[in-house]
A and B are shown apart, each in its own frame.
Chain A
């Protein structure tokens, strides 16, 4: 089955700890994205990556870091510098061609206690 997987579905961490969210895709997509969604809100872009070993900051990158060592993987680290990390995190990917569309994973709900 082709698709995007995110793990875990629910994650709890203590304040001050870094945490890494996993995102894997087997769609052979070039680009990958991380979004944050707060209750009742839309999606805000954290980071995105067009190709391996390259990524750009989105609108709310402060307190987050990413890496793109492999085409199929784009992990997101929520650092202790992120002031309000509790949120729903969504990973997505897309192909860069005429029929570009962006597909989402199932999301990870992070709760910082």
Chain B
């Protein structure tokens, strides 16, 4: 099945550093969602984006809906140890209930 290209696959960063990750698609999406998943748990929704160019923040997290509608970015500022986890992007095209998921970015924060 189709999947989004999410990068990087993994990141090791120092506490306090900023983090950037992105997703790209060959399809135009109407909705972009960003999730965080802890080991053994279900993904938790972080940010939802609905319009090209939209920039939305949730605390230290900021996500953007790319102008081309084929990409999205997630930034985490001043990372802390609890930011550790896997971050997934997901997108949906018009006229379907089906979401397509990225392969995930595994984030590790070194104290």
Assess whether B97 is in contact with A94, with CB atoms less than 8 Å apart.
yes
Number of interface residues of B (CB under 8 A): 23
| Nearest-CB residue, chain B, relative to A9 | B40
Contacts from B to A (Cβ < 8 Å)? 1, 3, 31, 33, 35, 40-45, 48, 50, 88, 90, 92, 97-99, 101-104
Besides the known contacts A44-B1, A99-B48, A104-B42, 12 further A-B residue pairs in the complex with CB atoms under 8 A apart: A42-B101, A42-B102, A43-B101, A59-B1, A90-B42, A100-B92, A101-B48, A102-B33, A102-B45, A102-B90, A102-B99, A103-B45
| Chain A residues with CB under 8 A of B40 | 88, 107, 109
State which of B33, B45, B88, B98 has its C-beta within 8 Å of the C-beta of A42: B88
In the assembled complex, which residues on chain B have CB atoms less than 8 Å from the CB atom of A103? Answer: 45
Interface residues on A, range: 20 to 34
Q: CB-CB < 8 A to B104: which residues of A? A: 41-42
**Closest-CB distance, B6 to chain A (whole angstroms):** 8
A42-B103, A48-B97, A48-B98 known; A99+B50 contact, CB < 8 A = yes
Closest to B6 in A: A42
The answer to whether B1 touches A50, judged by C-beta atoms less than 8 angstroms apart, is no
Question: How long is the Cα–Cα vector from A45 to B42 in the complex, in angstroms?
Answer: 14
Does A12 sit at the interface, judged by CB under 8 A? no
Q: How many Å lie between the Cα of A31 and that of B102 in the bound state?
A: 20
How far, in angstroms, from A102 to B91 measured CA to CA in the complex? 10
Given contacts A41-B103, A90-B42, A90-B43, contact A100 B31 (CB under 8 A): yes
Interface residue ranges of A70-113 to B (CB < 8 Å)? 88, 90, 92, 94, 96, 98-107, 109
Q: Give me the 6 closest cross-chain CB pairs, A-B, nearest first.
A: A59-B1, A104-B42, A42-B103, A43-B101, A31-B97, A101-B48
